[in-house]
Structure formats: C-alpha cells, structure tokens
C-alpha cells in the first residue's frame, strides 16, 4: 500500500516568488522542481485538451523513477452534452500513452460538474467512459451531487474508484467522506472559500484561494489513514492552488501522515511562516 500526496498542477504564474524563485534561474523547470518535493502530481491541463505524445513523453523524462502522475480526463468526455466519439478517445489515448509506457500514470480522474445527477442517462455516459478507458488505467470518478451516494454498487460494478472531496457545502454537495470503491482511494482538497465558490462572477483563482488550518488537515489525515487500510494506493491532492497554498498544505499533510516530507522552499516558508512552525 502506498500513500502519495501532491498538488494539482504546476503551471501557475502566481507561484513565482512563493513556490518558485523569482527571477527563475537559467534552465529552471517547474515540473522538475515540484518533483524534488513530491513523488506525485495531478495533471490538470489534460482536462482542457488532450496532451500531445511529445508533451507527456517530456513529463515522464523530467521526473525521477518512482514519480507518478494522475491525469484529469478531457472535458469532452465529462462536460460536453454531445456524445464523445471513438476519435476523441483515440486522441486522448495517444497523447497519454508515453506516461503509461513509462509506468508513471497512476490513474485517470473523471471529474463531473456539480449538477451531474445520478440517473439512467448519467449512468450510460459513465459506462461508456469506463468501456473506453477502464482497461487502460485505474479510473477515479469525482461526483459532486449527493444523489450518487446511493450509487456505490454501480461504481463498484464498473471498478470505478470514488473521489472524496473537500469543498464548500451546499444542499446537494458531497464533502468530508472517506469512501473506497476500488483499488485506488482518492482525495481532492478544493478549499472552503464558500463566498467565491458560489459566486458565478468569481474567477478561478478566487474560488481556490484557501489555506487549510492544521486542525482541518488533521481531520483529513485521519480519513486518509482509514482509506489506506482499504485501498492499494491512496492519492491525496491539494487543489487550493492560488499563491502556492496547495504546496503548503500538501507538505503539511505529508508530515502529518508520517511521510518523509521535503523541506519547504525558502520562499514558501517566508510567505507562510506560521504554517511550518512545529
């Protein structure tokens, strides 16, 4: 059993001067830098478009042996109302193939929107995705509507691994769970900035502008331990990326779980001195 903790993504302009040095030295590579501090990162650019094989080959080459990626599935499969095609699936397969060949693809994440409710059409869509990718890598499914809490038998039937999330709560939301429905257990920490989360005019950075307290992380450390007793692998992702807060909380969570957490970058310690006090 392995527990891997890391941030979601690494390409953020607002990480300069906090996570990354500013100015960056010659030859500086953000992914290589992240891989010095974590053994896992969630790839989120794949949600917006399939990567090219050349891109994913470079990601595999830049990271050390034992480093693992998980990747968000292209939104064409999870958010578009139109049915995805075999060509869509083939494009995503081809782009991600070098990571798989390198043994560095830990799972694919199927992230559905908050309004995606359990029902016949929804299950048909999920089943089609599982048929297209289920033999390729472990599939993790992020469902935000609480109607799916009655659908665990369906998820287990398809060997879909439930994604446990932390997010601002609403009448229909799912949050604070520790369910395991397959070989992979998964956690995504989105933050609790409720004011921006439910504001349609708020930008991406505002929605994910949240630093978890040590007490809040201790709660999740307990859930991760519980999941680790039931799963082959646990991935815990800090998605509260704004201004490097995901980097802070991922390092803190790793330390709480007794792992060999890397020292924070000096710039990050300077930006968040209270976070790294004993």
Residue with structure tokens 């559905």? 112
Q: HSE of 52 in the Cβ direction (CA atoms, 13 Å)?
A: 3
Which two three-digit tokens encode residue 211? Answer: 């630093």
Q: Total domain count for the chain?
A: 1
Q: What is the CATH number of the domain that holds 250?
A: 3.20.20.410
- 3 bridge partner residues: 234
Please report, for residues 8, 128, 142, 193, the alpha-carbon distance to residue 113 in angstroms, rounded to integers and kept in the order given: 18, 17, 9, 18
Domain that holds residue 103: 2-276
pLDDT of residue 1: 66
pLDDT of residue 240: 97
Which two three-digit tokens encode residue 87? Answer: 């060509």
pLDDT of residue 233: 97
pLDDT of residue 49: 95
pLDDT beneath 70: ranges in the chain: 1, 260
pLDDT of residue 275: 93
pLDDT (tens digit per residue) in 39-62: 999 999 999 999 999 999 999 999
pLDDT of residue 36: 96
């Amino acid at each position: 059993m392995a527990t891997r903790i890391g941030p979601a993504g690494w390409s953020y302009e607002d990480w300069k001067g906090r996570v990354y040095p500013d100015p960056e030295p010659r030859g500086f590579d953000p992914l290589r830098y992240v891989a010095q501090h974590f053994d896992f990162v969630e790839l989120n650019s794949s949600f917006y478009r399939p990567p090219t094989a050349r891109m994913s080959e470079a990601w595999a080459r830049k990271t050390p042996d034992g480093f693992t990626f998980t990747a968000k599935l292209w939104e064409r499969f999870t958010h578009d109302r139109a049915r995805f095609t075999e060509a869509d699936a083939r494009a995503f397969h081809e782009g991600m193939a070098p990571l798989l060949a390198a043994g560095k693809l830990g799972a694919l994440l199927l992230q559905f929107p908050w309004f995606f409710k359990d029902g016949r059409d929804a299950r048909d869509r999920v089943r089609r995705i599982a048929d297209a990718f289920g033999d390729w890598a472990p599939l993790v499914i992020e469902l935000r509507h609480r109607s799916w809490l009655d659908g665990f038998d369906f998820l287990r039937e398809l060997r879909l691994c439930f994604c446990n999330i932390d997010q601002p709560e609403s009448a229909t939301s799912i949050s604070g769970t520790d369910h395991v429905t397959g070989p992979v257990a998964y956690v995504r920490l989105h933050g609790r900035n409720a004011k921006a989360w439910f504001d349609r005019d708020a930008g991406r950075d505002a929605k994910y502008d949240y630093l978890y307290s040590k007490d809040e992380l201790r709660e999740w450390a307990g859930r991760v331990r519980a999941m680790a007793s039931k799963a082959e692998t646990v991935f815990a992702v800090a998605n509260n990326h704004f201004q490097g807060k995901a980097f802070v909380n991922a390092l803190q969570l790793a330390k709480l779980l007794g792992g060999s957490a890397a020292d924070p970058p000096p710039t990050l310690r300077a930006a968040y001195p209270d976070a790294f006090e004993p």
